[in-house]
Amino acid sequence: MFSIIQAAGWPIWPLIASSVLALAIVFERFVSLTQDKVAPAGLDNAVMAATKQRIPSPQSVAELSKGSLLGQVLASALQALNDRPQSSEEDVRAVVQHAGRAVAQRLQANLSALATIASAAPLMGLLGTVIGMIEIFGAQAPSAGGAGNPAQLAQGISIALYNTAFGLLVAIPALVFWRYFRARVDAYLFTLETSADQLLRHLKTCGHIRS
């Protein structure tokens, strides 16, 4: 492996750094985007059952907020009603939307960096290819002794090919994982939005929110 890195020359080092960063982002997103941490199954139904008669205490709402991102969104509505029991539907919805935007940012964290790596890696590989071509043309130029330099020609070919291949090797998985996480985040956002809307309708039906 080290011999390949040596043959690829210095242009491969930014690609190696990008691959390490992409791997760290993929691992972090897999850990952070689990269902238990984002939207545990049945949580929305449990919250609606708990609020059928009355709004839970601030302590219970705080515990709900700490459990998951969906709990954080749902808890924002309950916290608003604990703070201001006479809040209108528009007031509570505004609070929920603000909490939803904060949660959406957390769900999308680092995805832009992963997309940037997927877009930039082929360009970095292309840069290595261009540098390798420069080495090749330098080797073809007759020296003072007459013929070109075969060692320099071989080095230029190695730089060009290795950097092109490594750039694609970094970009393709980064793009695949970015699309996968993007679809996963969109699904979670839809779940959060649907659950929050159902809770607001439930709270209004139960008379906790004034019209």
Note whether residue 40 is domain-resident.
yes
- Lookup: tokens for 121: 């890696």
- For range 160-179, the mean pLDDT: 91
Number of domains in the chain: 1
What is the pLDDT, as a whole number, of residue 144? 45
Task: Please determine, for residue 55, whether its predicted confidence score (pLDDT) is greater than 60.
Answer: yes
- H or E element in which residue 200 lies: helix 150-205
Task: Please determine, for residue 181, whether its predicted confidence score (pLDDT) is greater than 80.
Answer: yes
Tens of pLDDT, residues 107-137 = 999 999 999 999 999 998 888 888 877 777 7
Q: Is 122 helix (H, G, I), strand (E, B) or coil?
A: helix
Note whether residue 211 is domain-resident.
no
Buried residues in 100-111 as b, exposed as e (16+ CB within 10 A): beebbeebeebb
- Lookup: tokens for 122: 């082929």
Tens of pLDDT, residues 70-94 = 999 999 999 999 999 888 889 999 9
Note whether residue 20 is domain-resident.
yes
What is the pLDDT, as a whole number, of residue 207? 85
- Give the residue, 161 or 35, on which the prediction is more confident: 35
Give the type of residue at 84: R
- For range 35-56, the mean pLDDT: 93
Note whether residue 65 is domain-resident.
yes
How many beta carbons lie within 10 A of that of residue 14, not counting itself? Answer: 18
Note whether residue 26 is domain-resident.
yes
For residues 70 and 82, what is the distance between their CA atoms, to the nearest angstrom?
Answer: 19
- For range 159-173, the mean pLDDT: 87
Note whether residue 210 is domain-resident.
no
For residues 29 and 23, what is the distance between their CA atoms, to the nearest angstrom?
Answer: 10
- Give the residue, 35 or 163, on which the prediction is more confident: 35
Query: What is the average pLDDT score of the chain?
Result: 87
For residues 92 and 95, what is the distance between their CA atoms, to the nearest angstrom?
Answer: 5
Task: Please determine, for residue 176, whether its predicted confidence score (pLDDT) is greater than 90.
Answer: yes
10 Å CB burial of residue 153 (0-12, 13-18, 19+) is middle
What is the pLDDT, as a whole number, of residue 148? 57
- Segments forming the whole domain that contains residue 180: 2-205
2 pLDDT tier (thresholds 50, 70, 90): low
